[in-house]
Amino acid sequence: MSTPIFAEFPSANQQSDDINVDTCRICLELLSMKRTASHIPCNHKFHRTCVLKWLESKNDMKCVLCNASVSGTVDEGGTRIARTYPFELRNDELMEKGTICPVDHVQANITNCGYLTLGLNKERNQAVKESKNQEWIDDIEQELEKIRRRSEAAEEYFQFILEKKDEDDEDKSDSEESTLEEED
Ligand SMILES: [Zn+2]
Ligand SMILES: [Zn+2]
Q: Which ligand is nearest to the CA of 39?
A: 2
The pairing of beta strand 72-75 with beta strand 45-47: unpaired
Q: What per-residue confidence (pLDDT) applies to 13? A: 41
Q: What per-residue confidence (pLDDT) applies to 21? A: 75
Distance from Cα 65 to the centre of ligand 2, integer Å: 5
For the stretch 7-37, pLDDT in tens is: 344 444 444 445 557 999 999 999 999 999 9
pTM above 0.85, yes or no: no
Distance from Cα 11 to the centre of ligand 2, integer Å: 11
Burial 55-82 (b: 16+ CB within 10 A, else e): beeeeeeebbbbebebeebeeeeeeebe
What CA–CA distance (Å, rounded) separates 82 from 93? 22
For the stretch 116-137, pLDDT in tens is: 899 999 999 999 999 999 999 9
What CA–CA distance (Å, rounded) separates 25 from 5? 6
Q: Which ligand is nearest to the CA of 61?
A: 2
What CA–CA distance (Å, rounded) separates 135 from 141? 10
Query: Residue 153 above 90 pLDDT?
Result: no
CB–CB of 124/140 below 8 Å?
Answer: yes
Q: What per-residue confidence (pLDDT) applies to 91? A: 73
Distance from Cα 92 to the centre of ligand 1, integer Å: 29
Distance from Cα 127 to the centre of ligand 1, integer Å: 18
CB–CB of 47/29 below 8 Å?
Answer: yes
Query: Residue 1 above 70 pLDDT?
Result: no
For the stretch 31-82, pLDDT in tens is: 999 999 999 999 999 999 998 888 877 767 889 899 999 888 999 999 888 7
What CA–CA distance (Å, rounded) separates 93 from 76? 35
CB–CB of 64/26 below 8 Å?
Answer: yes
* Helix ranges, the chain (H): 16-19, 48-56, 87-97, 103-129, 134-183
Distance from Cα 184 to the centre of ligand 2, integer Å: 72
Check residues 99 and 14 and name the one with the higher pLDDT. 99
